[in-house]
Structure 1
Amino acid sequence: MMQSPYVRKPASVTSVMLAVLLALLPAIALYVWQVGVIVLVNLLLATITALVGEALVLKVRARPLAPALSDLSAVVTAWLVVLSFPPILPWWATVLGVLIAIVAVKQLYGGLGQNPFNPAMVAFCAMIVAFPSLMSQWPGVGQLDFATQLHLVLGDQRQVDAIAGATALDAMRTGLRSGGGTVATILSDKAFGHFGSRGWEWLPLGYLVGGLFLLARRIITWHMPVAFLATLALISSMFWLANPGHFPSPLFHLASGGTMLAAFFIVTDPVSGATTPRGKLIFAAGIAILTYLIRAFGAFPDGIAFAVLLMNICVPLIDMKTQPPVFGHREDKAR
């Protein structure tokens, strides 16, 4: 007797979000090793803020609390906000960023599955536009002890001019635009490692390991990470080969900023991203192109967040134009 094909039972939201949290642990462990325990304090603060903020909005909307608070989606958003923000950001800025993501972007659009924009990236863009100085204060690896870090996060007075530095992308952009020399001379500074900021180069490896875990668990598909990384490598290679003295190598772009975090944890957001196979490739490639253009020619050192939001706007059109044909019909007639 012929049997119908078996359909794999869809994973629950909680199990998917738990897998994402587990996938972030390698990068968090490297973060703690290189920068300090302060990242754990920020993660705890952000998690509490996300859960409390979501609970309050659900209460106002007269919606049940348990399903939304137990699915871990708010926790994932909170962790992504923290990993996108500088680790010595004052506590109120982290709280504000998380509330923007949870309340303004997620809940006010209707809750999980309804937001057209990536919550963590909206929070990042809002904070870097409103507080550019604070969002540019990144400590050097091993430069601050935990007591100093805790004072910067929880204290009232902040004097960070002597202890905070620019990211690799920001230092490169500033050096090139100020006539500070070629790419090679800028990279020879002791603040740089082999490819990016000294010590911070370990973090992309952690995100890569976590991303491979998500791919192996089939939480995400290969389309978006591959399209994003390949397109970013391709466009940066073109400019680098044309003028290596003014444009950094593709390895610099892949190992710096939030590239690996974006490739596996931001671009792959199933709610705000494209859903069709071809659409995923177009969506991720568009983010990579915009990211590079902002990095190389824009006003901000890392354009990932802005690129993601710009491509979020295009998702309905991308999905509409890349729908696969209906079975048994030609592609042109299916549209």
Structure 2
Amino acid sequence: MMSTPLIRLAPTLASRNRQQLLALLPAIAIQLWQLGPQALLALLLATATALLADSLGLAWRRQAIWPSLRQGDALLSAVLLSLLLPATPLPLLCICTGAAILLLRQLFGGSGSLFHPVAGGLLLAAPWLPASLPHANLPLTLALLAGGLWLLWRGLLRWHAPLGLLLVVLIALPVGSGWLLGQSALWLLAGWVMSDGSSTPITSRGRLIHGQAAGMLCISVVTLTTHPDAGVTLAACLLLLSASAPLLDSLTLSPGRRT
């Protein structure tokens, strides 16, 4: 039988999550510098909410709580959501974080869930986000890019899906997609969500197709809407495409690996 991404990655999952958190430290520092105590409070509350929601979900599923919390999945999701939603009212951030952990992580079996909770949390917050186009945040974008390159150098970033997305964005530059490259949400979702092994196909070719499809969907939506939000749009595309990951796997796995 073909092994699942969770089984394959389980021995190093905690270590991988710790290094992903380390890669986010420059971005966290930039956000703290830009927003001050508000960013710190958002980070602490999102973390506490995620850990509490994860604990409740584990207790409901009759799973051991502490070993799962030590893996760091819920903590990483909380940090990513606090970076994606820096100016969101704190009660809304907590609600979206807790709901994403319970609905898209615990309800789908915990670690290895097909639908990434960060994309789900961002989509839950979308109705309350400002309708205006988000401003480019160059320092935060550069910090996220540096963290992503460090993960790539460490061999911890599954680069096929992010590469597929970025190739589509670059090819679409003539139709006005260049502003997407300045959106920090694009780099965060590409480097930390699209590279996740559970919500993307397990084959290299499947992940590349996944990234290209996400890029084409995202650009199609943002070029046809009046007030496009790259982060929310890409999050919706990723959730939609996650459901097709098993199909892409079946189409791209070589016949000798299907048994």
- The Cα shift of 1:221 comes to 2.8
Residues of 1 paired with 2:46 and 2:95: CA distance? 9
Aligned to 1:226: 163
Give the number of the structure whose residues are more often helix, by fraction.
2
Alignment partner of 1:292 is 2:219: yes
Q: Which structure 1 residue ranges, 5 or more long, are not aligned?
A: 1-8, 138-164, 169-196, 240-246, 328-333
Q: Which amino acid aligns with 2:65?
A: L
Mapped contact 2:169–2:215 kept (Cα < 8 A): yes
1:19 aligns with 2:19: yes
1:212 and 1:166 map into 2 onto residues whose CA distance is 27
Does 2:141 correspond to 1:204?
yes
Pick from 102, 112, 125 the counterpart of residue 123 of structure 2: 125
Decide which structure has the larger Cα Rg and report it.
1
Q: Please, which of 169, 176, 181 is the counterpart of residue 254 of structure 1? A: 181
Aligned length: 248
* In the alignment, structure 1 residue 307 sits paired with structure 2 residue 243: no
Tell me the TM-score normalised to structure 1 length.
0.69
Distance 2:180 2:133 in 1: 15
Q: Does 1:136 align with 2:104?
A: no
Change (3 A) 1:105 1:71: same
Higher relative contact order (CA 8 A, sep 6+): 2
Give the drift of 1:37: 3.5
Partners in 2 of 1:278 and 1:311 — Cα distance? 15
Q: Counterpart of 2:170 in 1: which secondary structure?
A: helix
Residue identity opposite 1:214 in structure 2: L
| Residue 108, structure 1, aligned to residue 45, structure 2 | no
Confirm or deny: 8 A CA contact 2:133 2:229 kept in the other structure.
Answer: no
CA contact (8 A) 2:158 2:196 kept: no
Distance 1:91 1:111 in 2: 25
The whole-number CA distance in structure 2 between the counterparts of 1:135 and 1:311 is: 23
How far the C-alpha of 1:124 sits from its partner, in A, is: 1.4
1:126 deviates by 1.9
2:26–2:144 CA contact under 8 A, matched in 1: yes
Q: What is the CA distance between 1:38 and its match in structure 2?
A: 1.8
Counterpart AA for 1:104:
L
* CA deviation vs aligned residue, 1:185-214 (integer Å, no higher than 9, x gap): xxxxxxxxxxxx3xx121111111110111
CA contact (8 A) 2:180 2:186 kept: yes
Q: State the distance in 2 between where 1:255 and 1:268 align.
A: 20
Contact 2:51 2:69 in 1 (8 A): yes
TM-score by length of 2: 0.88
Q: Over the residues paired in the alignment, what is the CA RMSD in angstroms?
A: 2.1
Q: Is the 8 A contact 1:233 1:253 kept in 2?
A: no
8 Å Cα contact 1:167-1:257 kept in structure 2: no
Return the match for 1:217 from 150, 154, 157: 154
Q: Which amino acid in 1 is paired with 2:245?
A: V
Q: Aligned runs of 1:51-130 on 2, under 5 Å?
A: 51-85=51-85, 87-113=86-112, 115-128=113-126
Residue by residue over 1:258-312, the C-alpha shift from the partner in whole angstroms, topping out at 9 and shown as x without a partner, is 1111221121111111110100100011111111111111364321111111211
Q: Which residue of 2 aligns with 1:145?
A: none
Q: Which amino acid aligns with 2:205?
A: R
Q: What residue is the counterpart of 1:281 in the other structure?
A: 208
Residue aligning to 1:238 = 174
TM superposition shift of 1:127: 2.1
| Residues 23 and 284 of structure 1, relative CA distance in 2, 3 Å threshold | same
Asked if the contact 2:140–2:184 (Cα under 8 Å) also holds between the matched residues in 1, the reply is: no
Choose 56-65 or 314-323, whichever is displaced more: 56-65
**Alpha-carbon deviation of 1:35?**
3.1
How far does residue 28 in structure 1 lie from its aligned partner after superposition? 1.3
